[in-house]
Structure 1
């Protein structure tokens, strides 16, 4: 009987101690781990090893983590990116997610939390960073194809980031249901840290990209959260 291969990770951090600690901890819980100390080295190893997920520090000595992530997405590298950073401001999180990152852990972190975030991202996207297979979703004039990462609004293609796509997918899986900000953040970002401002910001982005139809299909339920109208 063939044993399934363990998920492969790339740990990118310029601090030797952090790289070693993460590598040992993640190997201990069953992952295959490679590491890199610079942004350019990270890009080279992503191409060489094609990991299932990248843990990416922001403060690197050559290309910072934001630029590494941007270049990865520009070159069609779709595996999930988990940012590691001492920065904890909402703007830093939003910038990282806008550039194609999938989650954000603030230093100092607990190793158990990092491993849990990694497992959650791999469950969500699967090996190679592809969203899990599923049937097309249709709500009103919105159509979402999880397999091909495509969205149509009234027949017009809509370009969404990975996070915007995950947010819209969650709402389309729950049409007509009021979703609290905490529920959205737990589902889309796998945690509640960062405050409701992160959810509000991405709802705004999503409304803009879906067009300026009035009323918007995404309704605000004051003091509670949001719902996607089915009509």
Structure 2
């Protein structure tokens, strides 16, 4: 079966696209037009009642939540992280879900503060300031793990966690568009930046550059997306 990836440019779906491309899995990309609020349309809500991107349609039904999709693809096809019988499996899973539940959640609050604290600008700024420390703390923890050189983070064979962290680094460097980003201290993250550079050199990056307009260095020196179809915001 050919999978169907419901995506929007420069959204969390790029992580899943990387995984699909890296493993050479057949899929069709279905644009979710955020400018038209297509993620709120009844047809999309039938796939993901939370109205979030991505969704991957599979023979077992639609799967949403980025971490869940990565785990399912890895368990189904291999090659995206330690197998269930691998002794490193527990360590991989806890940091994969730390990235999904702590880091990615903080980023969403940073980018869409109005969804969490309302429209008062001073309140939004206070929330963002607090989140900056939380996000850098999360990156620091992941950097400490990467410095240990585990087989499932920053190694020659990339994992779903590599793709996830690289995307988070990208988004922190670009968004929110109207907010300062000098808080992102990538100089403290040499191992993660080396991992991001490695991901940039993989063949699967070509799909992002073509389909989502992410440019030549989407993770180490990112520029705003210029996709041929759809909108990143």
Greater per-residue strand proportion: 1
Higher relative contact order (CA 8 A, sep 6+): 2
Greater per-residue helix proportion: 2
Same fold (TM over 0.5): no
Give me the TM-score of the superposition, normalised by structure 2. 0.29
Structure with the greater alpha carbon radius of gyration: 1
Give me the TM-score of the superposition, normalised by structure 1. 0.30
